[in-house]
Amino acid sequence: MLQNIRKRLILDKITKYLSTNEIIILHGARQVGKTTILLYIQDQLNAKQEKTYFIDLEDSRYLRILDNGVEEFIKHLKEQGFEVVENANKKVFVFIDEIQYLINPSSFLKLIADHYPQIKLIVSGSSSFNIKNKFKDSLVGRTIDFEIFNLSFTEFLDFKNYYFNINDNHTEKKINELINFYEEYALYGGYPKIVLTPELEMKEKYLQQIIDTYIKKDIRDLAEIKDISKFNQLIELLASQSGRLLNMTELSNTIKLAKPTIERYLFLLEQTYIIRLVRPYHNNLRSEISKTAKIFFYDSGLMQMLWLKQLSKELLGQIFETSVFSELVKKYGVEKVAYWRSLDKKEIDFILKKAESILPIEVKINFAQFHDTAVNYFIKKHKINNYKIVGLKGDKENKNEIYPWQL
């Protein structure tokens, strides 16, 4: 059994599909825990006496085998002692880490799905951009996809060995402990390795490694970016603007890059789970798509290292709002999160789009900073009666004021 591996919340959703015929694909940035999730699932299957095999495509030996085609892969499995025959009593669960390294992953996965139902594939990829570029053939109906993000606050607490149940009645002492934990979570972000590292200097070092190896190298090489310095400038400028309106003209003038180039870079950064462009809420979808987006980073720690070159010792509003955005995405999904801004510049930080309703959400470090002008206008216009103010400091005075873990 694997030691000290924490169960991620998404595992319950993933394991439901272990008995189906679909290929399970995990998408996400580097260092968010995809490999650990694969290893956890393998360990659970091994405990049930299932047949499992793990392949890491960062090992060039395995990469050559799989790139040589499905027949070579099947031959390799048989050499490892796995009986791959039709109508076998048990499936062989094959885990493939870093599937994007294959020359043609789409063809490989399609052939396995169509001709080897006795093989259950669970694969991961560090970049949806890379995977989507290489998925030339349709895999519709053959895969089930999961996006893996860094830790949610609930998972953060679990990694800290801190008991938390949202349904408990919390004492003032418990609430103060949770506030301190959330402040740490917002300041340093949710990458598992960062959460488990106690020293600030080491946290910064590890985050800088992610920046240097994943953002400034892997992504740059992936997109064949030629003007490296301007790409790096763009990322750093975007980090300083997390939570703000995206101004393409200002970006273009500041960095001296053409708008189409910036748009390409933004697409790339979205597809590799670094940023998200959040669209404004409108009743008219066409209008919603055409309006100015807001820029958000998925990880508040990474955002600070790009922006400030260090982790802040003080929780700034911009950092807190970025952390709340990340929490909303993990709990409800990226497509459910919007913001709202009127022509006369009334603004609400987030609009959460639920199945049959919408929920305005304002984010303030201190509850006392909240002003109700924009919210009152919005709820009257849209004929709703519910809204939330997410904060950490100060006294909560009504039911609309909540802490981030109550979202």
**Structural domain boundaries, residue 95:** 11-148
Strands 337-341 and 275-278: unpaired
If asked whether residues 144 and 159 sit together in one domain, one would say no
Alpha helices (runs of H) in 223-282, residue ranges in sequence order:
228-240, 248-255, 259-271
Instruction: Assess whether 36 and 16 both reside in one domain.
Output: yes
Whether residues 39 and 164 fall in one domain: no
The C-alpha atoms of residue 232 and residue 250 are separated, in whole angstroms, by: 16
- A 10 A CB-CB count for 400 gives 17
Residue 37 belongs to domain with CATH number: 3.40.50.300
- Statement to judge: residues 380 and 243 lie in one domain: yes
Query: 10 Å Cβ neighbour count for 187?
Result: 21
SS3 state of residue 94: strand
Statement: the pTM of the whole predicted model exceeds 0.85: yes
312 and 390 together in one domain:
yes
192's enclosing H/E stretch is helix 192-196
One domain for residues 90 and 162: no
Domain count across the chain: 2
Shared-domain flag, residues 141 and 167: no
* Exposure string over 56-78, b if 16+ CB within 10 A, otherwise e: bbeeeebbebbbeebeebbebbe
* In-domain check, residue 320: yes
Last residue of a domain, one of 126, 148, 170: 148
Residue 378 lies in a domain: yes
Q: 266 and 341: one domain? A: yes
205 and 342 inside one domain: yes
Is 3 domain-assigned? Answer: no
Residue with tokens 């488990």: 196
1 found inside a domain: no
| 407 residues of the chain, pLDDT tens digit each | 455 678 899 999 999 999 999 999 998 888 999 999 999 999 999 999 999 999 999 999 999 999 999 999 999 999 999 987 766 678 999 999 999 889 888 889 999 999 999 999 999 987 655 555 666 556 777 899 999 999 999 999 999 999 999 888 889 999 999 999 999 999 999 999 999 999 999 999 999 999 988 777 767 766 677 788 898 899 999 999 999 999 999 999 999 999 999 998 998 899 888 999 999 998 765 665 558 999 999 999 999 999 999 999 999 999 999 999 999 999 999 999 999 998 888 999 999 998 889 999 999 999 999 999 999 999 999 999 899 999 999 999 899 999 999 99
> Are residues 117 and 82 part of one domain?
yes
- What one-character DSSP code corresponds to residue 334? G
Kindly state whether residue 2 falls inside one of the protein's structural domains: no
Residue 143 and residue 175 share a domain = no
